[in-house]
Structure 1
Amino acid sequence: MRSIAAVRGGPRLILRLEGLALFSLATAGFGLSGLSWWLYAALFFVPDISFAGYWAGPRKGAILYNALHSTIAPAVLAGLGLLIAKPLLLGLAAIWAAHIGFDRMLGYGLKYSSAFNDTHLGRIGRQSEDA
C-alpha cells in the first residue's frame, strides 16, 4: 500500500472537530436564514455530484471534488449574499458549508490525485489506517 501525506494524531482530531463546528454553525446559520428546512434537506448532498468527476480519472475527479469541498466557494457566496442582502444566497452558502463540515467531521478530506480514497485527513475506506 502506498503512503500518502496526511495529517495524523492530535492535529487530525482538531481538524475533525473543526468539521463538527463548521457543520453545527452553518446549520444554525441556515436556521436563522428563515428558509425552508426542505431546501436544506434537498440540497445537503448536492456537492457530492463531484464524485462523477472520477469517471474522467482520479486527477480530474480530485480537482472537481476539491472545488466543491473547499470552504472558499461557499465563503464567497456568503460574502456576496451579505453584500447584496440576499438571504437565499446566505442559505445556500450555509448548506454548502454544512456539507463540507459534515464530511470533514466524518474524516472525508480533500482528495489527492492518486486515488479517491487518498485524502489530507488520511486514507478512507476498507484500507484506511483506522480499519
Structure 2
Amino acid sequence: MNDAPNTIPASAGSVTGGVRLMLRLEGLAVLAAATSAYFLAGGNPWLFAIVIFMPDLSFLAYAINTRIGAAAYNAVHTYILPLVLAGAGWALGIESLWQIALIVAAHAGFDRSLGYGLKYASAFSHTHLGAIGRKAE
C-alpha cells in the first residue's frame, strides 16, 4: 500500500519509446525552424542572446509552490505563447513581437529536444517526457 497517497510515480503520465523520441525530434525541428526564421528575417543576435533563456525565469514561481511553479513554467514553455505573440505582432504590425515569438518558440523547442517536458504539479522533476534530474528513473 502506498503510504503517501498524494505522491505520483515519476513515470506516470510520461511518454516513452518512439513517441518520446518523436516529441524530442519535434522540439529540435522547432528550435531549428524558429532560429533560422529569426536570423533569416534579420533578427538582432543580441536580442536573441538576451531573450533565449528568459522563459526559464518562470522557475521562480516554484518558490511559491509546485502547482503555481508548474503552471508558470508550462505557460511559457508551450507553443501557445509564441503563437499568441506572433498573432499580436501580425495584427498590430509590431515586428518585435514576431521576433520575440520566434525566440520563445526556439527556447521551448530547445528544452523539448533535451527532454525537458511540461511540468506536472506533483514535482518539478515530473514532466510529460519523463522524470528529470537526480530523481530520474
Fold shared per TM-score above 0.5 = yes
RMSD: 1.3
Partner of 1:98: 106
- DSSP-derived class of the 1:118 partner: strand
> Structure 2: how far apart are the matches of 1:15 and 1:112?
17
Instruction: Name the CA distance, whole Å, in 2 between partners of 1:91 and 1:108.
Output: 23
User: 1:51 corresponds to which residue?
Assistant: 59
Return 5+ residue gaps in structure 2 as ranges.
1-7
Q: 1:73, CA displacement in angstroms?
A: 1.2
1:24 paired with 2:32, answer: yes
The aligned counterpart of 1:2 is 9
Q: Residues 71-108 of structure 1, C-alpha deviation per residue, up to 9 Å, x if partnerless? A: 10111111222233322111000000000000000000
Q: Under a length normalisation based on structure 1, what TM-score does the superposition of the two structures give?
A: 0.93
SS state of the match for residue 116, structure 1? Answer: strand
Partner AA of 1:26 in structure 2: A
For residues 26 and 12 of structure 1, what CA distance do their matches in structure 2 show? 21
3-state secondary structure, aligned to 1:117: strand
**Of the two, which has the highest radius of gyration?**
2
List, as ranges, runs of 4+ consecutive aligned residues in structure 1 with deviation greater than 4 Å: none
Determine helix, strand or coil for the equivalent of 2:135: coil
Matching residue's letter, 1:120: H
Secondary structure at the counterpart of residue 126 of structure 1:
helix
Aligned counterparts of 1:76 and 1:45: Cα–Cα separation in 2: 19
State the 1:43 CA deviation.
0.7
1:38 offset after TM fit, Å? 0.6
Q: Does 1:66 align with 2:74?
A: yes
**Structure 1, gaps ≥5 residues long:** none
Identity %: 52
Q: How many residues align?
A: 129
Match of residue 120 from structure 1 = 128
